[in-house]
Structure 1
Amino acid sequence: MTLAVIVQARFGSSRLPGKILNPLGSTTALARVLDRCARIVAADTVIVAVPDSAENDAVAEAAAAAGYAVARGPEDDVLTRYAKAARAVEAETVMRVTSDCPFLDPRVCDQVIALWRETPADYVNNTAPPLFPHGLDCEVFSAGLLYEAEAKATDAAAREHVTPWIRAQAHLTLGNLTGPGDGVERLRWTLDYPEDLAFCQAVYAHLGEERAAVIGWAELAEVCRQHPELTAINAKRHDTLRLARGIRASLQRRWAG
Structure 2
Amino acid sequence: MTNVGIISQARMTSTRLPGKVLHLAAGRPLLDYHVERLAWSKLPLYLAITANTPDDALAAYAETHRLPYTRGSEDDVLARFQQCAQEHDLDVIVRVTSDCPLLDGKLMGEAVQEYLAAKNPRLYLSNVLERTYPRGFDFEVFSRELLEEAHAHAVLPADREHVTPYLHQNRSGRVEFRHVRRAEDRSAYRLTVDTPDDFTLIKTLIENYGAAKLSGDELIQLLDAHPELVALNAHIEQKKI
Give unpaired runs (5+ residues) of structure 2.
Answer: none
Deviations 1:1-60 (A, max 9, x none): 11110000001111111111101223211121122122213x2x2110000011211122
Identity %: 33
- The aligned counterpart of 1:82 is 81
- The aligned counterpart of 1:253 is none
Aligned counterparts of 2:194 and 2:133: Cα–Cα separation in 1: 18
Deviations 1:169-228 (A, max 9, x none): 21121111112343x2111100001001010110012124xxx22311110111112222
Whether the 8 Å CA contact 2:9–2:47 is kept in 1: the answer is yes
- The aligned counterpart of 2:174 is 171
Aligned counterparts of 1:98 and 1:206: Cα–Cα separation in 2: 24
Per the TM alignment, residue 142 of structure 1 is displaced from its structure 2 partner at its CA by 0.9
Q: AA paired with 2:135?
A: H
Question: What aligned pairs does 1:124-143 form with structure 2 within 5 A after superposition?
Answer: 124-143=125-144
Give unpaired runs (5+ residues) of structure 1.
Answer: 249-257
1:104 pairs with 2:103: yes
Q: AA paired with 1:156?
A: P
Whether the 8 Å CA contact 1:97–1:139 is kept in 2: the answer is yes
- The aligned counterpart of 2:17 is 16
Q: AA paired with 1:192?
A: D
Aligned counterparts of 1:65 and 1:232: Cα–Cα separation in 2: 36
Per the TM alignment, residue 112 of structure 1 is displaced from its structure 2 partner at its CA by 2.1
- The aligned counterpart of 1:196 is 198
The DSSP-based 3-state class of the residue aligned with 2:223 is: helix
Whether the 8 Å CA contact 2:5–2:92 is kept in 1: the answer is yes
Q: CA RMSD in A?
A: 1.7
Question: What aligned pairs does 1:20-99 form with structure 2 within 5 A after superposition?
Answer: 20-41=21-42, 43=43, 45-99=44-98
Moved more, 60-69 or 100-109: 60-69
TM-score (normalised: structure 2): 0.92
- The aligned counterpart of 1:222 is 221
Q: AA paired with 2:144?
A: A
1:207 pairs with 2:209: yes
Q: AA paired with 2:220?
A: A
Q: AA paired with 2:200?
A: A
